Structure 1
């Protein structure tokens, strides 16, 4: 009977969502691809702008469900789920998460409103690391909630993962400094179906559901690992180790294969400096510990508080060594996992991998976007490079993941540059770029030939004007 009910809920989800909806982080199935859509190639504050509306701060990506757009925000010390009209951007409702405590987060790099909502077309589920999961109907009425302790992540960076839906289940991978676990809840009631504890520490990735051999597997990236769990029981079925020490990216599916790419500082291609080297850069070598003033002279200045666990205003040799343990034991690489339930690796690639932006598979090619920016394009089937580490004129650093449609890949930078790259070429040809006055850290959405971009201050809708 339980399986029949689950099947009924899955069919309801399928029938409720419109084919063109963008219902979760990176759209349908988390692919980032809307190849039946024709969003504008040229756009900006004065070109092909349908509407623009101010939005509160937050790093979550917009989702589109029917005639509504939903995102999360953090304003005035409160966390909100906010709904806008797709036609004109008018705010329809906002719901206060009523978080008793806001999780620790990096003030410029992180956000307590970083997780993207997910919807089946009737219900929208929001996750906040500060307080847990909350379900609303599309009119903003709360349906249920799962209260969870305020999240504490390594270096107090903040939450990054987003919930997903499959077969009537809400699925959440919550890897923290301690008490990491994967949760499966009934979408209709919020009741817990299963919970699987994990040994892995902090991760920021959103999982994906992969059907291999007729069985559905929840694939969860973690620190130094990639793990598959049986969807309806939470039982671990396979694991791939020797992955990156920090997991920020989301896996993607290519035919019957699963592709994943992870990178973290401290790997073979990016050695962290020793404590003595950092002290010398800071001019603190005679003091013997890293001061806030000295750290400002190094690349780590913006992360001083995150690396000062006891908040005494100095980072000692012992604290530095303990912090570096979080980057140890990982191996930076992209992998293709064969179907068959064994976690067998088909191919590996280990150069110029992205840190935060998830890779994208588009028209049989696997694209990787690294800060710089550099773009690498691999044959998705074989892993062989078509081009590698090619310079792209499109900003510098990236938190938003690429999305693709109609032969183009859209990339958005923290400096506000949004660029359009021609897909299928032998080099990353930028056919158009525009720089917004404010940064873009949220992944864009593509629905009904319209490109939705959330910047640090506004939500934009762009479409070719007829």
Structure 2
């Protein structure tokens, strides 16, 4: 039994009727608030392959999408083909030695599992055929996290299309948004967001980028905004600050904030070229990150003050702050994992080397930088729960930190040797982790 409530609360002045599922459910990428904070969670802080694993369910194919949860239902997407190439992160998309995935027949699937038992309640295959666009062999054709509002689940499969099912598995609608080239043939990765009755999708590519709102009930296009952008992989973020609520859409050329109701630009700030990292914020500040479009490094991490307006771009790399920008810093690291903002610390994980950095969120000063033991690197986003910080690395080890100004490792929990590039989902006393071949439920 799931519980669904709909209120006519005003969205911080945006005038939108909001519907939401129970607090504590994990309904979209990085949780129902987009911040990866599970305030009321009671999931274990220690686990292993044979410790506190309530169930482990194999999922065929490849998908870096995060599980989402409403009530007792867990939704997972995947793309299935025969003889799938093993993922590799540090090479080009279509290069010598890399298989052209467009030559293979795929099935794009949505799975519904029981949260309690892991039983597969239903499985649907909304799309089949050969992909129209290539992908990086470290990417998948199901890297976008689905979204649910407690009545339906909506899965976005990039250039293949969007599909909506009710919770019983009956297809409600499907829609194609077109097929466009991406940078170096790397593919897509931006996840959808539900805003009022609209499913908001950021489709940044190398030909014709846009932000679109689809009616979540019918799939009809409600609005569209053309974007002067090339390929990005960031997910839109709803920033609820002390002054208003903003729809923030990160980009390589510009970081942009829109009024959620009128969709007029509130402010914009020049980026470093491209971005994979999704924004995060609190009442006072929003944190955005981008990198050099070709090399992937260096790039600027910036903290933007609530109430900014107009063009707030900094004039050069030597200028680190302004009336609208509290602080900024140029980083030379490579990062795909979105940051965690928790108890005054901004936690950022590096793609290789197993390095965590913690910045003072108000000033940008580095609290600590630490290489974690035997960690190859990170793709999954960190999360917080029960007053602790959790970092899941590529090899399936989750490092548990005590938040604060100094590095303090509490525990490290190892699962199997499969690759873990998906972000976690948390609900109540349960933690869901997705590896390359399985979904795990961690529960005492």
Q: TM-score, normalised by structure 2?
A: 0.83
Alignment of 1:50-89 (within 5 A): 50-56=54-60, 57-76=62-81, 77-89=106-118
Choose the corresponding residue for 1:42, options 46, 55, 58: 46
In structure 2, the gaps of 5 or more residues are 1-7, 82-105, 313-323
In 1, Cα distance between the equivalents of 2:261 and 2:27?
A: 22
- Separation (CA, whole Å) in 2 of partners of 1:152 and 1:141: 32
User: What corresponds to 1:375 in structure 2?
Assistant: 356
- Structure 1 residues 5 and 424, CA gap change in structure 2 (3 angstroms): closer
Matched residue, 2:373 = 393
Q: 2:146 aligns to what?
A: 117
CA contact (8 A) 1:333 1:353 kept: no
Matches of 1:66 and 1:164, distance apart in 2: 19
1:146: how far off?
2.3
Q: Does 1:351 align with 2:331?
A: yes
Pairwise CA distance, 1:463: 1.4
Task: For residue 337 of structure 2, give the secondary structure of its aligned residue in structure 1.
Answer: coil
Decide whether aligned partners of structure 1 residues 105 and 30 sit closer, same or farther in structure 2, where only a CA change above 3 A counts: farther
Deviations 1:301-329 (A, max 9, x none): xxxxxxxxxxxxxxxxxxxxxxxxx4289
Native 8 Å contact 2:16 2:261 kept in 1: no
Cα 1:230/1:329, change in 2 over 3 Å: farther
Q: In structure 1, what is the equivalent of residue 303 of structure 2?
A: 336
Q: Does 1:403 align with 2:403?
A: no
Aligned positions of 1:145-184 closer than 5 A = 145-184=174-213
- Bigger proportion of residues as strand: 2
Q: Which residue of the partner structure matches residue 19 of structure 2?
A: 13
Structure label with greater radius of gyration = 1
Q: Does the aligned pair in 1 maintain the 2:258–2:267 contact within 8 Å?
A: yes
Distance in 1 between residues matched to 2:385 and 2:71, nearest whole Å: 19
2: CA distance between counterparts of 1:212 and 1:21? 22
**1:42-69 deviation digits (Å, cap 9, x = unpaired):** 1121111101110122110001111000
RMSD, aligned α-carbons: 2.4
List runs of 5+ in structure 1 lacking aligned partners: 265-325
Identify the structure with the greater helix proportion. 1
Within 1, Cα distance between the matches of 2:9 and 2:442? 40
Contact 1:59–1:113 (CA under 8 A) maintained in structure 2 = yes
Number of residues of Structure 1 aligned to a counterpart in Structure 2:
396
Shift of 1:432: 1.8
Compute the displacement of 1:106 (Å): 3.6
Could you tell which deviates more after superposition, 203-212 or 193-202?
203-212
Aligned to 2:315: none
Equivalent in the alignment of 2:278? 250
Give the direction of change, closer, same or farther, for the CA distance of 1:328–1:456 in structure 2 (3 Å limit): closer
Q: Secondary structure at the match of 1:350?
A: strand
Distance in 2 separating the partners of 1:151 and 1:101? 15
1:375-411 CA-partner distances (Å, limit 9, x unpaired): 1111212222212x32112521221111111122222
> Which residue of 2 is the match for residue 384 of structure 1?
365
**47-56 or 336-345: which moved more?**
336-345
What secondary structure does 2:331 align onto?
coil
CA distance, structure 2, for counterparts of residue 6 and residue 363 of structure 1: 27
**Separation in 2 of the partners of 1:366 and 1:229?**
24
Aligned twin of 2:33: 29
Q: Give the 3 Å change call, closer, same or farther, for CA 25–195 of structure 1 in structure 2.
A: same
Q: Is the 8 A contact 2:251 2:290 kept in 1?
A: no
Output the CA distance in 1 between the equivalents of 2:185 and 2:408.
36
Deviation string, structure 1 residues 202-228 (Cα, Å, up to 9, x no partner): 000101012457543221111232111
| Alpha carbons of structure 1 residues 103 and 215: separation in structure 2 relative to 1, 3 Å | farther
Conservation of the 8 A alpha-carbon contact between 1:182 and 1:198:
yes
- C-alpha contact 2:135 2:141 (8 A) present in aligned 1: no
Deviation at 1:103, TM superposition (A): 4.3
Q: 1:125 to 1:384 in 2, by over 3 A?
A: same
- Summarize deviations over 1:82-111 as a string: whole Å, max 9, x none: 111101111111221225542434453000
Partner of 1:239: 268
Deviation at 1:25, TM superposition (A): 0.5
Assess if the C-alpha contact under 8 Å between 2:346 and 2:361 holds in 1.
Answer: yes
Q: How far apart, in 1, do the equivalents of 2:421 and 2:407 lie?
A: 25
* Secondary structure of 1:130 counterpart: helix
Normalising by the residue count of structure 1, what TM-score does the alignment of the two structures yield? 0.79
* Residues 1:431 and 2:435 aligned together: no
For residues 45 and 377 of structure 2, what CA distance do their matches in structure 1 show? 22
Q: Deviations over 1:416-439 (max 9, x none)?
A: 333222222501525223152211
- On the 8 A contact 2:249/2:255 being kept in 1, the answer is yes
